[in-house]
Amino acid sequence: MKVTLNQLIAKLQTIATNHEQINSFFFGDIADLGTESPMQYPVLFADVAPSNFSYKVIALNFQLMVMDIVKKDLSNENDVMSDTLQMIEDVIIELRNPSEVFLIQDSITLTPFMDSQGDEVAGWTANITLNVPSTYNSCAIPSN
């Protein structure tokens, strides 16, 4: 079964919507985060990164970030880091659901960040690869 990029984005949106702690989802350029409407934190952010195509598999690379507001006095920084770590772990667990058509790599590096967007936010980044089946079939190409 073919899985499209739009279906993967919708899956991430559903994960964010169904998670009791995540209040917003944004897909796209990180510089555009919150420019159309204010974000309700915590936020699950996703963007697609350079990816690979090989015989019968498209390895789609995504950058995922879960972030929340840190108080100016940093009094909640440890809580934010702890909570967003749990949230990004939950997202990864949801993506590992065996009923999905795609596979996520086994080992994922999680990188903490602080105030990366000027909103006084902190959280975690995960660079993941979703291996999606490709039909690799010239008969499936829409052409004359």
Q: What is the pLDDT of residues 103-120, one digit of tens each?
A: 788 889 999 998 755 568
Cβ neighbours of residue 54 under 8 Å, at least 6 residues apart? none
Residue 91's pLDDT is what? 96
pLDDT at 96 exceeding the cut of 80: yes
CATH of domain 5-135: 3.30.70.1700
The chain-wide mean pLDDT, for the chain, equals 85
Q: What is the pLDDT of residues 1-44, one digit of tens each?
A: 577 889 889 999 999 999 999 999 999 888 777 777 778 999 99
**Residue extents of the structural domains in the chain:** 5-135
Residue 36's pLDDT is what? 75
Cβ neighbours of residue 110 under 8 Å, at least 6 residues apart? 85, 88, 124, 125, 126
